[in-house]
Amino acid sequence: MNNLTLRQLRYFDAVATHGHFGHAADACAISQPALSVQIKDLEESFGAPLLERTTRRVRLTAFGEDVLGRVREILRSVDELGDMARAAQSGLAGRLRLGVIPTIAPYLLPSLLRDVKSTFPEMSLMVRETMTANLISELHAGKIDTAIVALPVSEPAFAEVPLWSEEFVLVRPHSEARSPVPAPEALERERLLLLEEGHCFRDQALSFCSLPTARPHEGLDGSSLSTLVQMVGAGLGVTVIPEMAVPVDTPSANVNVARFSGAQPARTIGMIWRKTSPLSGQLTSLADVVRLSGESLSAGYKAVRTTEK
């Protein structure tokens, strides 16, 4: 057991994550034969197989399952040592891994990256865009340092910092521009187009419209807000999008953007990170920059009244 190395543990974690030697090797930026040798050496150190190898996929043995949890604890602790070193510095410096959900990333990142570079010139920001469930898993595993998501996520291990709120708007075909805005519960009859399952914004839209999350699938779900808007422009239905998507996704589509009457539907955008993270102080400073970027964008949206295209 004296020959164990952190490199071997990281390679094992990568194989367990990807379930494939080739994909794990690509993720670790080494050749597949070299990775296989390191995993074999690790198994010899343990004196037991960690993986069950098949022609198509790699599976963990029962022993490998037990080892993986401890390996990830070790790797997370090692990463936190690096975080402690960064926390001892003044300000944010070095690499910081930021996760962002897809219904925020394309709209916030252009201004945020500019603001972050100006405020923290010594920091190298690595951005990961994926759905909330993946970000939560990766944050638990220490694969990212923090994430920008829609709150709440209600994870006891995470700190949640609300940053700003933004309203939702209705996007409908331009031909309906002069028609009254339908009530939220009436949108189902108008064929409400939604993001595919797994996106938290899908559940938020369904909740606002008082519709069940397990609704019949009609084969018209979209993979992005931009896709939904284009589908509306083609006359396939209506959709609901957040304000920040309006200036980016609607100009090229033949659609009308309208606000709902009464109380406006909205979401709260915030940052999350592990409560145990040594970078908590620095992440709080980063959250201030994210808040200013988001509030600046939000103020711009609210200053422009909805107009017909």
Q: Is residue 62 part of a domain?
A: yes
pLDDT of residue 213: 58
User: What's the whole-model pTM score?
Assistant: 0.74
Q: Could you give the number of structural domains in the chain?
A: 3
User: What pLDDT shows up at residue 215?
Assistant: 54
* Beta-sheet strands, E only, within the chain: 51-53, 58-60, 94-100, 123-129, 146-151, 158-173, 192-193, 238-242, 255-258, 266-274
205 and 244 belong to one structural domain = yes
- Let me know whether 21 and 67 are in one domain: yes
Question: From CA 244, how far away is CA 300, in angstroms rounded?
Answer: 9
| pLDDT at residue 2 in the model | 61
Low-confidence spans in the chain with pLDDT less than 70: 1-2, 55, 83-93, 211-220, 300, 302-309
Report the CATH number at residue 219: 3.40.190.10
What is the predicted pLDDT for the residue at 85? 67
The answer to whether position 131 is within a domain reads: yes
Query: What SS3 class is residue 101?
Result: coil
- Examine the domain organization and report whether 106 and 20 are in the same domain: no
Query: Contact 168/206 with Cβ under 8 angstroms?
Result: no
CATH number at residue 32: 1.10.10.10
Residue 308 lies in a domain: no
Expressed as residue numbers, the domain containing 133 is 88-156+269-302
Checking phi first, is residue 20 left (phi over 0); if not, alpha (psi -120 to 50) or beta? beta
